[in-house]
């Protein structure tokens, strides 16, 4: 049996305050382990996402796992991974590019903001159903479908107070369900629910804003959107829509660094 040691960091993304924002684990690998082992590490961490990175030559290959399995895009774990590399592994660099299931994702550090370029999702308007309203427990004004289901409600108070039926959310279309409304001190507020990924609520969802930002950019007729995720942890995203690409910017802070020991 071969014993290996892995370095892992836990980063709070989309905040500069520990215990706020969205925590992600970043696990540095010398080579790819089996998907079964990656999933077990993710489930042991019990965070919404764990990022795994393997460097080959000058390329960084990045994958994201939730406790329910691998996903194709994750904003906060990408920000967290960039934070780890640009602070602790290649601290003299200000930019890093990751090879991912969603293509090449580049993260740039300027001052204390990490800016990521993500693809935006095409939103198709869908009918609002009584089932949606009953499951989310709120009056829905409009609904749209991309990878996820996006539900528009009337007020930020409704977003803040929503208590959905988490088990029945699995019956709705989309991988995640996002509920959003216009903000006052910010352009929009939202919350993101992901029981299909074995996560009740994602505290700050980067990929969710690849749905949320295109909607509000169109409604507000502006390309730069400041968004607040009104979860129990909370977090801010500074975004810019450029055609079919979205710039997501945010801060990050180190919570912990540890070593993982495996017998393989």
Whole-angstrom distance, CA of residue 245 vs CA of residue 239: 11
Decide: 140 and 162 in contact? Cβ < 8 Å: no
Largest CA distance in the chain: 60
CA distances from 81 to 77, 118, 182 (A): 6, 15, 30
Q: Is residue 99 annotated as part of the catalytic site, yes or no? A: no
CA distances from 239 to 84, 206, 217, 220 (A): 22, 10, 10, 14
CA atoms within 13 A on the CB side of 106: 5
CA dihedral 19→233→81→102, nearest 10 degrees, is: 170
Q: Among residues 36, 44, 49, 70, which one is catalytic?
A: 49
Decide: 215 and 126 in contact? Cβ < 8 Å: no
Decide: 234 and 159 in contact? Cβ < 8 Å: no
Q: Which residues are catalytic?
A: 49
């Amino acid at each position: 049996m071969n014993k290996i040691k892995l370095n892992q960091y836990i980063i709070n993304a989309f905040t500069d305050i520990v215990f706020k924002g969205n925590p992600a684990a970043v696990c540095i690998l010398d080579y790819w382990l089996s998907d079964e082992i990656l999933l077990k590490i993710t489930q042991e961490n019990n965070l919404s996402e764990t990022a795994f990175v393997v460097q080959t030559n000058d390329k960084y290959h990045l994958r994201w796992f939730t406790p329910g399995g691998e996903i194709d895009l994750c904003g906060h774990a990408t920000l967290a991974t960039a934070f780890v590399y640009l602070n602790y592994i290649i601290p003299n660099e200000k930019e890093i590019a990751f090879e991912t299931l969603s293509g090449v994702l580049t993260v740039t550090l300027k001052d204390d903001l990490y800016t990521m370029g993500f693809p935006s999702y095409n939103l198709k308007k869908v009918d609002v159903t009584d089932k949606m309203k009953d499951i989310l427990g709120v009056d829905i004004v409009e609904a749209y479908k991309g990878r996820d289901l996006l539900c528009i409600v009337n007020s930020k108070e409704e977003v803040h107070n929503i208590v959905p039926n988490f088990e029945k959310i699995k019956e709705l279309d989309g991988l995640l369900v996002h509920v959003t409304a216009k903000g006052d001190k910010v352009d929009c507020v939202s919350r993101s629910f992901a029981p299909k990924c074995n996560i009740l609520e994602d505290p700050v969802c980067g990929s969710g804003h690849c749905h949320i930002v295109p909607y509000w950019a169109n409604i507000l007729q502006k390309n730069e959107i400041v968004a607040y995720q009104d979860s129990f942890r909370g977090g801010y995203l500074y975004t810019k829509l450029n055609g079919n690409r979205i710039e997501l910017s945010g801060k990050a802070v180190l919570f912990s660094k540890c070593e993982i020991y495996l017998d393989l």
